[in-house]
A and B are shown apart, each in its own frame.
Chain A
Amino acid sequence: QVQLQESGPGLVKPSETLSLTCTVSGGSVSSGSHFWSWIRQPPGKGLEWIGYIYYSGSTNYNPSLKSRVTISRDTSKNQFSLKLSSVTAADTAVYFCVRGWYGDYTYFFDFWGQGTLVTVSS
């Protein structure tokens, strides 16, 4: 069973960089047919895809966040990470790390971390 666990500061100051790490167990961030994503959910609101990194290391980002987002991975630690720069209060949200699967013209997000609340405030 694949498990994902987010870690990182729960409070970030405005204009600073939000940094989160996702540790994966029961699967590999280098395995084929998978991609590793960050999705967020502001309190009381819906889900917003931030971006993902493929098993190959290539990335794809939400155009609305692209200028501020970097997703990377550390295969030796089986982790992937999110950096979101120049944060504002609008970036306050629960951040989920998620595994995606693709194949046969089908895509879906199948395993989710429990989520971690990040609050942007001075």
Chain B
Amino acid sequence: EIVLTQSPGTLSLSPGERATLSCRASQRVTSGYLVWYQQHPGQAPRLLIYAASTRATGVPDRFSGSGSGTDFTLTISRLEPEDFAVYYCQQFGSSPLFGQGTKLEIK
């Protein structure tokens, strides 16, 4: 069974800074099956990136995804106040699985 490990657990940054979030898989993941979501407190997750690097409809271009194999990255180029949230990576295999999340908090 694939395990997804996200790092760091918490990332403290200021608005305007660049955020780099990591998702590492214990086995190779097909890029088409790697997805990123954003979740604000009390809300449902929101689809951000699918197929490792394709932005979902309406997602600002400051969000970008990259990676392949076992290492994937979500980058937010310049943080806006609304970007502070929890981010989850997820892989679709025989059993969809989420990483444990990275909390992006205001420094």
Contact = CB atoms under 8 A, between A and B. Distances in A.
Tell me whether A and B are bound partners: yes
Given A46-B88, A107-B32, A110-B56, 13 more contacts: A46-B98, A46-B99, A47-B90, A49-B96, A104-B32, A105-B30, A106-B32, A106-B33, A106-B51, A106-B54, A109-B90, A112-B44, A113-B44
Q: How large is the interface on B (under 10, 10 to 19, 20 to 34, 35 or more residues)?
A: 20 to 34
Interface string B87-107: 010101011111111000000
A49 B32 CA distance: 18
Interface residues of A, number: 21
Given A49-B98, A112-B45, A106 B88 contact: no
A109 B101 contact: no
B50 interface: yes
A48 B45 CA distance: 12
A112 B90 CA distance: 15
Given A46-B88, A47-B45, A47-B88, A106 B98 contact: no
A16 B20 CA distance: 44
In this complex, which of A47, A49, A113 has the most chain B Cβ atoms within 10 angstroms of its Cβ? A47
Contacts of A110: 47, 56
A107 B33 contact: yes
In this complex, which of B35, B45, B46, B51 has the most chain A Cβ atoms within 10 angstroms of its Cβ? B45
Contacts, number: 59
26 contacts: A46-B98, A46-B100, A46-B101, A47-B90, A47-B101, A48-B98, A60-B95, A62-B95, A63-B95, A96-B45, A102-B92, A104-B32, A105-B33, A106-B32, A106-B33, A106-B50, A107-B35, A107-B92, A108-B35, A108-B47, A108-B92, A109-B35, A109-B45, A110-B56, A112-B46, A113-B44
A25 interface: no
B95 A105 contact: no
Interface of A: 37, 46-49, 60, 62-63, 96, 102, 104-110, 112-115
A102 B32 CA distance: 10
Contacts of A107: 32-33, 35, 50, 92, 96
